[in-house]
A = this chain, B = another copy of it.
Amino acid sequence: MTPATAPSPRDADALDATRVAVSTVIFTMRRDEGDCPQLVLPLVRRTRDPHAGLWALPGGWLDIVENLEDAASRTLAETTGLTPSYLEQLYAFGDVGRSTTRVVSIVYWALLRADEVDAQVAAHAASGDAPENVVWFPAADLPTLAFDHNHIVDYALWRLRNKVGYSRIAHGLMADAFTLADLREVYEAILGKRLDPANFRRQVENSGTLVRTESFRTGSHRPARLYRPHHDVELADRGPLAPAAHESSTI
């Protein structure tokens, strides 16, 4: 942006200067013991100070020749081996006291389909470059994280719940074929409340974002029709920004 005023003199010592980092809060849905799915996110154990030993969001320094979103993708892949199906800027955190040195963190948030998580993790394990020190935690039950990362995750959760209300963002968590009950469970897990199956069905059917297949999932009861995401439908509204940046919403 290089403003109209003269640039203030900057310290030549890089360690005293403001540095730009990029981190990502990336969610997926995991169903543990057959029952309710829950939101989980990957954290990385820090190996150096500050906060060595604590868990932190995956991230890294912004490279000088790299766009912000590219940096988010790269650092996420480097630390966790994951490539998200949806990626959006969350917020820029830059309070003076949030780290021992001055760091402005551009934080992204992302969603990843549960089946992709498995595939990507399996691929890395097979090729021997499995990321280390990465553990998935339930978003609702996190330990104390490094820096202001608990705060950041809270904000990302708030944004996710918010956005689920007015966009098809949750479809980014679904595999290729799923029942309406599957989708409803995901909404319920995100919103933390039960939804009426009948009304939920009508809402998503009327939204035009799903495609009915002629396949059914058979189980212990009446078979349930399988749906798949309508690939032409964006997961979220987006502003007038050409390359990236998203968002949406009523007096």
Task: Identify the A interface with B (CB < 8 A).
Answer: 1-8, 10-14, 16-23, 44-48, 50, 56-68, 75, 78-79, 89, 91-96, 98-107, 133, 147, 149, 151, 154-155, 158-159, 162-166, 187, 200, 203-204, 207, 239-243, 245, 247-251
Contacts and interface: CB of A to CB of B under 8 A. Distances in A.
Given A1-B105, A4-B45, A65-B96, 16 more contacts: A1-B147, A2-B50, A2-B101, A2-B147, A4-B48, A10-B19, A11-B64, A20-B94, A65-B102, A67-B94, A68-B104, A151-B242, A159-B239, A162-B239, A162-B248, A204-B251
9 contacts: A1-B105, A3-B44, A5-B61, A5-B78, A11-B64, A20-B104, A91-B241, A151-B240, A158-B240
B3 A94 contact: no
B4 A56 contact: yes
A4 B79 contact: yes
A20 to B, nearest CB: 5
B240 A60 contact: no
A11 B14 contact: yes
Contacts of A241: 91, 151, 154-155
Contacts of A163: 249
Contacts of A5: 60-61, 75, 78-79
B162 A3 contact: no
Given A1-B57, A21-B2, A249-B249, A154 B96 contact: no
Nearest to A75: B3
A215 to B, nearest CB: 23
A105 B17 CA distance: 16
